[in-house]
Amino acid sequence: MSKFAIMKSKVFYGSWVVTGYMRVGVFLILLTLLAPISQAQPSVQSNQFDCSPNELSFGVNNAFVRAMTDGSADVSDQWLVYMPSMCGKNQDLLQQMIPFEIESIEQPNQIPGSFILNLESPADVRDELQSVDEVQRWSMMKPHSNQPRFVPNDPSFSSQWHLQNTGQGSGTVGEDANVTGAWDSVKGTGVLISVVDDGVDHQHNDLSPNYQDAIDWDYCGDDGNPSPTSNDGHGTSAAGVAAGIGNNNYGISGAAMDADLIGIRLIACSNTDQDEADAIGHRRDLVSVSSNSWGPSDSGKVVSGPEPLLQASLEDNMYQGRGGLGTIVTLAGGNGRNNDDNSNYDGYANSRFTIGVAAITDYGSQAWYSEDGANILVAAHSKGGSQGITTADIRGSGGYTSTDIYNNFGGTSSATPLVSGVIALMLEANPTLTYRDVQHVLVHSARTNDATDGDWVTNGGGHDVNHKYGHGAIDAGLAVHIARNWTNVDQEYNWTSGERDISQSIPDNTANGLSDTVTVDAGLLVESVEVRFDADHTFRGDLEITLTSPAGTESRLAEKHDDNNNNFNEWVFSSMLHWDESSDGVWTLEVNDRRNGETGTWNHWELVIHGADEVIDTDNDGLPDEDETSIHNTDPLNPDSDNDNLMDGYEIFNSSTSPIDSDTDDDMLNDGQEILIFLTNPLQEDTDNDGLSDGTEVLVTFSNPLLFDDDEDSDGWYWFQDCNDSNPNVKPLQSELLDGIDNNCENGIDEGFKDLDSDNDRLSDWAEFHVQNTDWNNPDTDGDGIDDGDEVQVFFSDPTYADPDDDSDGYYWFQDCDDNDSDRSPGLAEWLNGIDDDCDEDVDEDFLTTDADRDGLLDINEYLVHMTEWQDADTDDDGMNDGYELFVGTNPLFADLDNDGDGLRWFQDCDDNNSNISPYADELRNGIDDNCNGEIDEGLPVLNPQILIIQYSSPVSEVNRNIVITAYANSDTESILFEFDEPLQVEISTNQATVTATSPGIYRGEVCAVTNDVFDCESILVEYSPVEEKEVVPTIKSEPEERSTYVSQLGENIVAVVVLSIILLLVTIIGWKRPKSPVKWEQPVNYDTNVPAAPDLPVWSK
């Protein structure tokens, strides 16, 4: 049993002998650095294999052994073999050695000297491989079906309480990851997080800004686009928790709100050991944190872990990733607590190359699904209490919701990326942290949550540990603070007990089972512990396995649960609960069978301890005990030998002060006070070289021992004694003057002058100087004849400004309401003029009730409202006083006249320019309102127009000859209208129409008597005949006949009249119409409508 240092590459362990298929021991040597990108490449035919083999590490070798001894008979078309002797040899030689047909050969980069044999069809070739001496190790490659960690479906509130818990949803205030405590200084900038999951929606607004799409990968589709398919929202939500962009006025924020991000699509399909190795090792040269929220089944009946290639990739991440500092891999601790699953049954989460994460609620207690496990390093907040986690979701309807925000994410699937984000914050604060340093910082910064839980114990290193929570709840603020000031740990050492053979039956359900002890003297300060355990048992869930350290800390590696599967086959348990304990002493492994019926055999086990050299420092002061006694003469049992609040180690290595003299420089301040409180030099009595020792300045003068104390004005007083070190006239013991200065540096400024009144103006000297700015030796500073005291206390005027009487009316401006108008002053009588004449702040107040001109109007109203003369009863001199005019509605400012001399004024007369029109005139039929009652021609008899006589010059005539028709109407007729058929040519004059026709025919017409749209019409009928050719016969001139009367003509032509009447009746029946615009006969009466309008008096109306 021995201890080995780890320098640059993988960790190796002591060899052991394994029965069955295991044939070759494992030796401890250093591996060379492996290539950062782990992806299997087909070898080139007929070329030599280019590889430099190294001995297998503990983890890789154990993964091979587990595969070789699992008792399976499954078939596969891919087999991984470890044949280091083939390096430098030809492929044909390898094919000759293998006793079965090989289709192709690949060389995986993760394990130099290993080869993937591709068969034409699946087969079981275990025996064949066992028969080939050059095949030192082999493993069947089979598809894996990893599962995203279960997301509980409890109700939740949509707020990111895991980042800042204010009590929303009834959670405990402050129960969060304290991310806001880190965001003031770091946000994950420049740190790349890889989310290995079922894909990431990298077009999401909260993921796309810092997404590095040039280096992501889809190991399901074998392309560069790891976008998820519908219903695969797990990876997108995990990415949002870790690195969602914050402070962008959109959606959610991740823990590392400005970190870079890539998605690696792996678990959306079945995959192989090679796929997992490539995915977790993807771009380890660039990836700082690989976040993995997945693992084997949480049924409680599965014990499964990484196969050889993934084991090698995990080790490469630790020793080669991030330029040799290590790519940090986080893994979900599992959600199978309801199935009594334990995180130590998950070889992914219990690997010392990963950080196993448990989940706690918004109350700080264990989430109902989160698995216990000694392998858990820290716990982080997730769903399980009153609410879930709010994070990103696939855009549209392809995720958990139909939006791009999900309020109910949870499980260790959410806790793990939260830890990933916090680690990104730590790496921004200190990019030099190694993989182990990150674990140390998490251990030292973790907060003890759920403090009343009975599983909390303090381990031998002084850390509170718990199987539910590891070292406690993650605290981003404290982690960043510690990381920023962290000194990287020393190189790693590993100790192994070698394989310890037990080969005993385990007592069935007894109080005491089997136990074995190992005494360790490696001198290590423990970080992690691994137990390789092999037992045959027909119901492995019966077994309870507990590791106890020399300090008494117990790690429950396996507990009784309902797992009826067989055996623990070379299974590696791990524990993080012994962190910083001493490795030295007796370690005990106990194995108990806690159920009747099924039995088994404990075959063998191995204890492996990882850590750094342990230095014995009993008092933890940073000095080894040996150095304290032999070199420094300090007390190895007292961390502060001189009681100056500085640890001995700090005084030796940091402050260079004496660890056995509390006041190294004898300045009356002990070294701790100088360094921790006053920041002075503990090795120099007068740090600022001002002649005053640090102790004097701190304890006596109360000055700053870091600032040089000067006497700038050379008045004999230091600045901290002198109230003005730039004025030699200002100093203690100086006489006080009234000058606004504290001349004597005591009792304030100008003390003693508040009770003096040197000029007897009833103002103190202090008030005159500081308040009034007056001359405290002159009672009338402005020389205006008023004492300063009277101006301030009586007149409230400015005593520094002469108070004038500009209008010389005997009143100062502050007494006079208008000091520019001598007609206004307090001594004058008020006048009705709209001005405050007597300065009593009232205007025209003496005229509110007076009526000086007795016109029935108040003087104030005449002045302000009516604008009439308040001393003249008849302002417009029209014989009516102003009050009466307003009463009747006329304007008292304009004279009311009788222009037509009819005895009525204009406002009484409807036409004051016509004496024939007045309220007293008779109404005439003339279209005028003669009696001013608003009506025209009212009260007169109704008119009945009537045609009396129609006279023709001749009813029949030759064409082109005139027929004159004359109509006579009664006296009620206003006009006579004629209407004729076309094409008669008509000329109308008053009551006579002259008609002419150019063609023969009978023509009709109508004549009407009209009054006020009342018509009385008669028909007219004329006839035109052609011109007849006649022989001219001389005739004897006879006497003219007497013109017949209308009645005689009518009698002579009765037949013609009857015929014409019949014709007229027919014309009327068939619709003959009068012209629309007949010539109208007007009565010959002229009406004068030129009447002047009355004045516009609406303003005077009542």
Q: Where are the domains of the chain?
A: 9-140, 162-484, 492-613, 752-803, 804-837, 943-1025+1057-1102
pLDDT in tens, 529-548: 999 999 999 999 999 999 99
Q: Which of 162, 234, 537, 604 is catalytic?
A: 234
Give the pLDDT confidence score for residue 732 in this predicted structure. 87
Helix then strand count (H, E) for the chain reads 20, 36
pLDDT along the chain (1102 residues), means of 10: 39 32 30 34 59 86 86 90 92 90 90 92 92 92 69 44 91 93 93 98 96 97 95 96 92 95 97 95 97 95 94 96 97 96 96 97 97 98 94 93 93 97 98 97 96 96 96 96 91 96 95 95 95 96 97 97 93 97 97 94 98 86 88 94 94 92 95 94 93 91 88 83 86 86 85 88 89 91 87 87 82 83 87 89 90 91 91 89 89 88 85 88 86 86 89 92 93 90 88 92 93 90 82 47 41 54 55 39 38 36 32
Give the pLDDT confidence score for residue 154 in this predicted structure. 29
What's the mean pLDDT when you consider all of the chain? 86
Angle between helices 412-429 and 234-243 (to 10 degrees): 30
Specify the residue for token string 């109306």.
1101
Helix, strand, or coil (residue 627): helix
Q: How far apart are CA 1072 and CA 994, in angstroms?
A: 21
Q: Which superfamily does 943-1025+1057-1102 belong to?
A: Immunoglobulins (2.60.40.10)
Cβ burial, residue 1028 (10 Å; 0-12/13-18/19+):
exposed
Confirm whether 162-484 and 943-1025+1057-1102 share one CATH topology: no
Max CA-CA distance within the chain?
A: 194
Architecture of domain 492-613: Sandwich (2.60)
Q: Which of 156, 159, 176, 197 is catalytic?
A: 197
Q: Which of 413, 414, 528, 662 is catalytic?
A: 413
Q: Dihedral sign, CA of 847, 850, 853, 855?
A: positive
Report whether 859 contacts 870 (CB < 8 A): yes
Domain 162-484 matching CATH 3.40.50.10800: the answer reads no
Amino acid at residue number 689: N
Q: How far apart are CA 866 and CA 863, in angstroms?
A: 6
Residue 234 among the catalytic residues: yes
Residue 413 among the catalytic residues: yes
Q: How far apart are CA 87 and CA 240, in angstroms?
A: 45
Residue 604 among the catalytic residues: no
Cβ burial, residue 174 (10 Å; 0-12/13-18/19+):
exposed
Give the pLDDT confidence score for residue 114 in this predicted structure. 93
pTM of the entire predicted model: 0.56
How far, in Å, are 834, 858, 870 from residue 875 at the CA level?
Answer: 20, 14, 9
Give the pLDDT confidence score for residue 229 in this predicted structure. 95
Q: How far apart are CA 503 and CA 17, in angstroms?
A: 13
Query: Which segments of 635-729 does DSSP mark as H helices, in order?
Result: 648-650, 671-672, 694-696
Asked if the peptide bond before residue 826 counts as cis, ω within 30 degrees of 0, the response is: no
Order of strands across the sheet with 985-989?
A: 947-952, 963-969, 992-996, 985-989
Contacts of 571 (CB under 8 A, 6+ apart): 66, 303, 305, 347, 532, 533, 534
